[in-house]
Amino acid sequence: MSAYIVRRLIGAIPLLLFISLVTYAMMALAPGGPVSVLGPRGGNLSPEVIANIKAQYGLDKPWYIQYFYWLKELLFHGSLGNSFVDHRPVIEKVFEKLPVTVEMIGLALLLTLIIALPIGIYAGAHRDSLVDNVASVVGFVFYGVPIFWLSIVLIDIFAVQLRWFPSSGISSLGAEGDPIDRLRHLALPVVAIALTGFVSWMRYQRSSVIEAMSSAYIRTARSKGLSERDVLFKHAFRNALLPIVTLLGLSLPALVGGAYFVEYVFSIPGVGYLTFSSIFSRDYPTIMAITMLTAVLIVAGNLLADIAYAVVDPRIRYT
Amino acid sequence: MRGLGRFLRERTAATGAGFVLLLVVLAVFGPLIDGTPPNAIDHAILGMPQPPSGAHWFGTDLLGRDIFVRALYGARVSLMVGAAAMIVSFTIGVSYGAIAGAAGGVLDAAMMRFVDAMLSFPTFFLLLIIAALTETFSLGIIILIIGLTSWPGLSRLVRAEVLSLRDRDFVEAARALGARPGRIVLRHLIPNALAPVVVAAAFAVGDNILAESSLSFFGLGVQPPQASWGNMLQDALAPEAQSAPWMVLVPGLLIIATILAFSVIADGIRVSLDRSISQSAADDEPPAELLAVPTAAGNSSRG
């Protein structure tokens, strides 16, 4: 097992290098560099000043040299560089935005599972029942709902008309440390994420219960006279949870990057919001840091999913 | 109950196809018949969006522009981007997957590593970066950006299909008759691998429409004043629009209905293709949208 993990980690290195190279190339080759977004002021700068600014940030060199410098800093000094915008270390910028996003996505994931798992299990155990049919119709409709549209609708109903929840931000003026106030601000974004995300979880859970219920050991359990309840919860349930374990691992990257829409519409100062602002201001180091963080999480999520799978299911062995 | 399910499914597939057809007809001919320009600003009602009425079926927006007319022009954009981007990703994905599958060996391994790497980018993140950095937002560029970021999944599908066909007797026979590899790929492997690709392509149109409206919503797609469902929703974000729910509902419901229509069409195609193989298996298989991996962020990562 540990040899397998080491091999997977080594295999991830070329992948991460490739992703960083492609992202850097795309950024640097796209028209309009960081200097062009100095805006109206940029138009009035003399060519010498522009050349000076470029030299100061190393932007006068070809993109592959720039990439090489970036990589050298990362490998030899463990540094992802400083932001072009405010000159702070990008690690610091990303990590101060991370808690809000992780909290929001974590709560959303929790709510998703609370909605999806019981309905999925019930629908799988009682196929074609009323609950199954209603759940599949509701699930079908939510499949087509764009998360940014749902966010606008939730704001219109619950923040503007009913005034139950605040419409944007993460805290009210003067109530910055108050956990209740924070939860009230997170309520609508969390609901928006959960409502658009629970469908696929529910349907996965449903089909894995159906699959488990049709296997031979269930027939054995039934034939020794166990009640349907015991069959479902003592035998089918454990096996039906396996795919969900994998999905949890695969959804790890969403903890960082999956919330651009919601953070944008609700003005929540998280990593998604930082992604937007750094893309628009051509802040190469920050874009690179977020890309690499997301890529690392994707690799780690895949690996964790495989490991967790082997832990819950002793039949699976990696060599 | 099972018979009812199948009946309903076929009815829904037909409804979906009917809706798309109606949308296409309205998008193509509607503006010709009505003739109201989509960007005609009515200064009398500037800043006072009017509710739906006989004169303005879906109401007006903040600039007094007719939302029904704009929605039709938006449908043109969405359908065109959805279909054209699908053709781009279809062309790349099918040829890439077929070549990898047919070649096998080191080339196949290398090509699939590249696909793995492409799939390691969150798609919408990639879309955002490219769209923001390109800075030009013509329809052609938007189509290219969406098409160029959505082919890797499709190429995997085609490769798997080609691998399962590669050693079949009829391919063997063609090889024995001296057919060149190019001919085998084009005449034997690709046509036989198309069935699942057609289903994926129908889903892809819906996904591309979602991607286009998301980009336009963020100001990175179709640029105002040209109407698109996404930038119409962007207009609806303005505080003055809060008293005008039709500004939110019309473009939103159109996006939802169109995505759902393409998804039931895809499902209908899948069921009828499956039926030609086996009658009973079709009902027990999960719908194709389950093949996509869900994330905590819901469909944001699908775009």
Give the model confidence (pLDDT) of A85-136 as tens digits: 888 999 999 999 888 888 998 899 999 999 998 999 889 888 888 989 898 8
The pLDDT of residue B259 is: 93
A60-79: pLDDT as tens digits: 788 888 898 889 888 888 88
A250–B295 C-beta distance less than 8 A: yes
Q: Is the pLDDT of residue A30 over 80?
A: no
Task: Assign B300 a pLDDT band (cuts: 50, 70, 90).
Answer: very low
pLDDT at A39: 52
Check pLDDT > 80 for residue A50. no
Residues 6+ apart with CB under 8 A from A278: A83, A85, A286, A287, A290
Can you give the three-state secondary structure of A89-135, one letter per residue?
EHHHHHHHHHHHHHHHHHHHHHHHHHHHHHHHHHHHHCCCCHHHHHH
B248 touches A at CB < 8 Å:
yes
CA distances from B274 to A71, A136, A204, B7, B199 (A): 50, 21, 21, 15, 11
CB-CB under 8 Å, A200 with B242: no
Look at residue B147 in the predicted model and tell me its pLDDT.
92
Is residue B139 assigned to a domain?
Answer: yes
Q: Does B3 touch chain A (CB under 8 A)?
A: no
Count residue pairs from A and B with Cβ separation < 8 A: 171
Tell me if B215 is assigned to some domain: yes
- The pLDDT score that the predictor gives to residue A35 is 67
Give SS3 for A82: strand
Asked if the model's pLDDT at residue B134 lies above 80, the reply is no
Q: Which of B 133-172 lie inside 8 A of A, CB atoms?
A: 133-136
Indicate the number of domains in chain B: 1
CB contact under 8 A, A200 and B2: no
Q: Average pLDDT for residues A29-44, to the nearest whole number?
A: 62
Interface residue B219 vs chain A (CB under 8 A): no
The 8-class DSSP code of residue B66 comes to B
**DSSP letter at A30?**
S
What's residue B228's pLDDT? 92
| Residue whose entry in the numeric block shows the structure tokens 């003067």 | A174
pLDDT digits (tens, 9 = 90+) for A188-225: 999 999 988 888 888 888 888 888 888 888 888 888 88
pLDDT at B291 over 90: no
| CB spacing of A144 vs B256 below 8 angstroms | yes
- What local confidence, expressed as pLDDT, does residue A319 receive? 63
The two three-digit tokens of residue B252, written as one number: 């939103």
pLDDT at A62: 83
What pLDDT does residue B285 have?
45
Of A144, A153, A260, the CB nearest to B300: A260
Question: Can you give the pTM of this predicted structure?
Answer: 0.82
Q: Is the pLDDT of residue B260 over 80?
A: yes
Residue B287 has pLDDT above 70, yes or no: no
Distance, in Å, from the CA atom of B295 to the CA atom of A112, rounded to the nearest integer, reads 10
Q: Which two tokens stand for residue A71?
A: 């990589």
Question: For residue A251, which residues of chain B lie inside 8 Å, CB to CB?
Answer: 294-297
Chain A environment of B297 (Cβ under 8 Å): 105, 108, 147, 193, 197, 251, 254, 257-259
Closest CA to B132 of B50, B209, B221, B199: B221
pLDDT in tens, B47-90: 778 788 877 778 888 787 888 888 999 999 999 999 999 999 99
Q: Cis link prior to B225 (omega < 30° from 0)?
A: yes
Sorted by sequence, the CB contacts under 8 Å of residue B293 that are 6+ apart come out as A200, A247, A250
| Residue B19, in any domain of the structure | yes
Contact status, residue B296 vs residue A251, Cβ threshold 8 Å: yes
Using pLDDT thresholds of 50, 70 and 90, give the confidence band for residue B117. confident
Higher pLDDT among residues A203 and B121, named by residue? A203
Assess whether pLDDT exceeds 80 at residue B262.
yes
Contact residues on chain B for A265, CB-CB shorter than 8 A: 237
Question: Domain holding B224: CATH number?
Answer: 1.10.3720.10
More reliable by pLDDT, B279 or B102: B102
Residue B219 in domain: yes
Least confident of A244-248, B132-136, B144-148: B132-136
Give yes or no for B216 touching A (CB within 8 A): no
CA–CA distances in Å: residue B121 to residues A18, A53, A275, A290: 11, 31, 14, 11
Residue B91's pLDDT is: 94
Q: Return d(Cα B14, Cα B4) in angstroms, integer.
A: 15
Nearest CA distance, B28 vs chain A (angstrom): 24
| Beta-carbon separation of A19 and B242 below 8 A | no
Asked whether A57 and A38 are in contact (CB, 8 A), the reply is: no
Is A195 in Cβ contact with B298 (below 8 Å)?
Answer: yes
Check if B252 contacts A (Cβ < 8 Å).
yes
In a domain, B212, yes or no: yes
Record: contact A149-B206, CB cut-off 8 A: no
Residues A293-303: what's their mean pLDDT? 84
Rounded Cα gap, residues A278 and A83, in angstroms:
9
* pLDDT for the residue B282: 41
Mean per-residue pLDDT for A126-152? 88
- Identify all chain A residues contacting B206, using CB atoms and an 8 Å cutoff: 144
State how far residue A73 is from chain B, nearest Cα, in angstroms: 23
Residue B49 to chain A, least CA–CA distance (Å): 16
Average pLDDT, chain B: 81
Amino acid at A124: G
In a domain, B43, yes or no: no
Establish if B134 belongs to a structural domain.
yes
In a 10 Å sphere around its CB, with 0-12 CB exposed, 13-18 middle and 19+ buried, how is residue B54 labelled?
Answer: exposed
Mean residue pLDDT across chain A: 83
Q: Determine the structural domain holding residue B151 and report its residue range.
A: 2-38+72-279
Query: Does B47 map to a domain?
Result: no
What is the pLDDT at residue A44? 64
Instruction: Determine the distance from the C-alpha atom of residue A21 to the mean position of all C-alpha atoms in its chain, rounded to a whole number.
Output: 22
Q: What angle do CA A24, A30, A35 make, to 5 degrees?
A: 90
Tell me what the mean pLDDT of segment B267-288 comes to: 59
**Candidate from B120, B130, B210 with C-beta closest to A146:** B210
Q: Are A236 and A212 in contact (CB under 8 A)?
A: yes
Judging contacts by C-beta atoms under 8 Å, the chain A residues touching residue B130 are 26, 30
Which position has the higher pLDDT, A246 or A81?
A81
Q: Which of A15, A194, A258 sits opposite B301 (nearest CB)?
A: A258
Digit-coded pLDDT (tens) for B219-240: 888 888 888 999 999 888 888 7
Question: What average pLDDT score do residues B192-209 get?
Answer: 88
